[in-house]
């Protein structure tokens, strides 16, 4: 065995250029595999953070049927008392009561469907970053009446500017359609352009008479968004609320947005496919190089066999050469991956040209990749297996050589 190791090791250094090519392939494979994963994880985290900070908060409370039926009369029982109780609850950082209504928005340049959020501006700023993301105008200042705040995506679509007039058309609780004029008082930009195109904000006190018209409870709420001190407590918080208030439903962010999980899952699949492609490239590199190494040494392998080296050992010899190549490449690849991930993890990686596509999925163009140690190990093992499996064919080719033919070869 020691002799096989010696020969294999020296063979690795015989054709330096060729060995270097395989090693570079292995290094790049390892680096790319790890970096892609780190990038994906950076993206997940950011998507999650964005979704929680801009869209979902940590938990939401609704009437049990509201999320399905979206009818204006489906209010949270004892809305105001509930809001008050939540504000006083420990572990709760922010609470915002909302009215939620679907509406048609009509501008001079177009029409669209939107979701209107009737909010208390200050409370909303305590659970969501939307109020702080208004970069044109203000988020529903006290002194101006009938203002609407919408996203840049919608403003662009309907060609709206600050001060533009729009009409919102709702169906109120009594089933009547009501039209109301609003003036664009602010335009926000969230990381998610889909969200920006759909969510508009108005003052709750102005929305209430419009959507709750025809029912008694003018102070009712459709939704209470809750921001906790610890997002990890969201599920426990929801369970506790549900036990205490069986007439309403409290859902944590995971339950609220199964599509978030789905997106993360599909991204996971996407990157798994990507990893597969990288491994395939590594496999072709190894197969190609080791096959050349074998074919270059046909006569030599024939001699080894003639002298009495059995086929198993010839096979092992070729596999060992691949293993040595990997052992030389693996530390370099891992170090490179760790280095770049650490650097970009701190400084961020800006794929500016992709920012439009990213915004559709609620992603910032700058991603901060990061990767757990266990994934480095996993990718290393994956690469080692790929390289080993790829070595099998060249090794098998070597093992099949006929010594008589091989030695005859000039």
Partner 1 sequence: MNTAARSSAAAPSGHTHAELVLETVNLDRTFQNGPERIHAVSDVSFRVQRGEFTAIVGPSGSGKTTLLNLLGGLDSPSDGHVRILGTDLSALKASERVDFRLHNIGFVFQAYNLIPVLSARENVEFTMLLQGVDASERHRRSSELLEAVGLSSEAERRPTKLSGGQQQRVAVARALASKPAFVLADEPTANLDSTSASALLDIMARLNEREGTTFLFSTHDQRVIDRARRVVTLVDGRIDSDDRRDPDTAGTAKTNPA
- Is the CB of 7 or the CB of 281 nearer to partner 1? 7
d(CA 180, CA 106): 10
Helix (H) or strand (E) holding 11, with range, is helix 2-12
| Residue 303 interacting with partner 1 (CB under 8 A) | yes
| Residue 307 interacting with partner 1 (CB under 8 A) | yes
d(CA 392, CA 320): 11
| Residue 327 interacting with partner 1 (CB under 8 A) | no
Q: Is the CB of residue 359 less than 8 Å from the CB of residue 191? A: yes
Q: Calculate the dihedral angle through the C-alpha atoms of 139, 141, 145, 151, rounding to the nearest 10 degrees.
A: -10
| Residue 299 interacting with partner 1 (CB under 8 A) | yes
Only segment of 197-205, 300-308, 324-332, 350-358 that touches partner 1 (CB under 8 A): 300-308
How many residues belong to the chain? 410
d(CA 337, CA 347): 15
Strand 165-171 relative to strand 92-107, pairing = antiparallel
Instruction: Give Dmax over CA atoms of the chain in angstroms.
Output: 102
- Is the CB of 187 or the CB of 304 nearer to partner 1? 304
Phi, psi of 48 (to 5 degrees): -65, -50
| Residue 300 interacting with partner 1 (CB under 8 A) | yes
Whole-number minimum distance, CB 287 to partner 1, in Å? 23
Per DSSP, the three-state class of 179 is strand
Only segment of 10-18, 180-188, 191-199, 392-400 that touches partner 1 (CB under 8 A): 10-18
Whole-number minimum distance, CB 328 to partner 1, in Å? 17
The single residue among 174, 244, 310, 381 that binds partner 1, judged by CB under 8 A, is 310
Only segment of 121-129, 199-207, 306-314, 344-352 that touches partner 1 (CB under 8 A): 306-314
Whole-number minimum distance, CB 389 to partner 1, in Å? 25
The single residue among 11, 19, 79, 133 that binds partner 1, judged by CB under 8 A, is 11
Question: Please, what is the Cα angle at 158 between 155 and 161, to 5 degrees?
Answer: 45
Q: Is the CB of residue 161 less than 8 Å from the CB of residue 155? A: yes
Strand 249-252 relative to strand 223-228, pairing = unpaired
The single residue among 28, 74, 275, 305 that binds partner 1, judged by CB under 8 A, is 305
| Residue 18 interacting with partner 1 (CB under 8 A) | no
- Is the CB of 46 or the CB of 397 nearer to partner 1? 397
| Residue 311 interacting with partner 1 (CB under 8 A) | yes
| Residue 14 interacting with partner 1 (CB under 8 A) | yes
């Amino acid at each position: 065995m020691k002799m096989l190791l010696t020969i294999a090791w020296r063979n690795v250094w015989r054709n330096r250029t060729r060995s270097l090519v395989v090693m570079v392939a292995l290094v790049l494979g390892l680096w790319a595999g790890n970096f892609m994963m780190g990038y994906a994880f950076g993206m997940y985290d950011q998507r999650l953070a964005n979704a929680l900070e801009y869209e979902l908060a940590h938990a939401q409370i609704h009437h049990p049927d509201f999320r399905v039926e979206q009818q204006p009369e489906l209010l949270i029982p004892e809305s105001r008392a509930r809001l008050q109780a939540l504000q006083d609850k420990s572990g709760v950082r922010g609470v915002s009561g909302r009215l939620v209504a679907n509406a048609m928005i009509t501008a001079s340049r177009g029409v669209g469907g939107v979701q209107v959020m009737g909010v208390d501006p200050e409370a909303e700023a305590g659970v969501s970053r939307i109020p702080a993301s208004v970069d044109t105008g203000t988020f529903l200042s006290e002194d101006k009446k009938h203002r609407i705040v919408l996203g840049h995506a919608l403003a662009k679509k309907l060609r709206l500017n600050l001060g533009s007039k729009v009409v919102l058309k709702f169906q109120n609780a009594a089933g009547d359609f009501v039209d109301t004029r609003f003036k664009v008082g602010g335009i926000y930009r969230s990381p998610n352009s889909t969200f920006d195109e759909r969510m508009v904000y108005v003052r709750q006190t102005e929305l209430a008479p419009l959507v709750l018209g025809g029912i008694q409870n003018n102070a009712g709420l459709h939704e209470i968004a809750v921001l906790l001190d610890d997002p990890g407590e969201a599920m426990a918080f929801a369970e506790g609320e549900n036990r205490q208030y069986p007439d309403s439903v409290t859902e944590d962010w995971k339950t609220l947005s199964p599509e978030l999980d789905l997106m993360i899952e599909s991204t996971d699949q996407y990157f798994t496919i990507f990893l597969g492609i990288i491994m395939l490239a590594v496999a072709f590199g190894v197969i190609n190089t080791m096959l050349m190494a074998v074919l270059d040494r046909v006569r030599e392998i024939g001699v080894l066999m003639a002298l009495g080296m059995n086929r198993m050992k010839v096979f092992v010899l070729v596999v060992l050469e691949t293993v040595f190549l990997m052992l030389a490449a693996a530390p370099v690849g891992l170090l490179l991956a760790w280095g770049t991930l650490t650097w970009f993890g701190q400084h961020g990686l800006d794929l500016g040209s992709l920012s439009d596509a990213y915004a559709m999925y609620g992603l910032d163009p700058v991603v901060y990749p990061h990767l757990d140690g266990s994934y480095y190990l996993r990718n290393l093992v994956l690469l080692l297996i790929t390289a080993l499996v790829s070595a099998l064919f060249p090794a098998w080719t070597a093992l099949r050589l006929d010594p008589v033919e091989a030695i005859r070869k000039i």
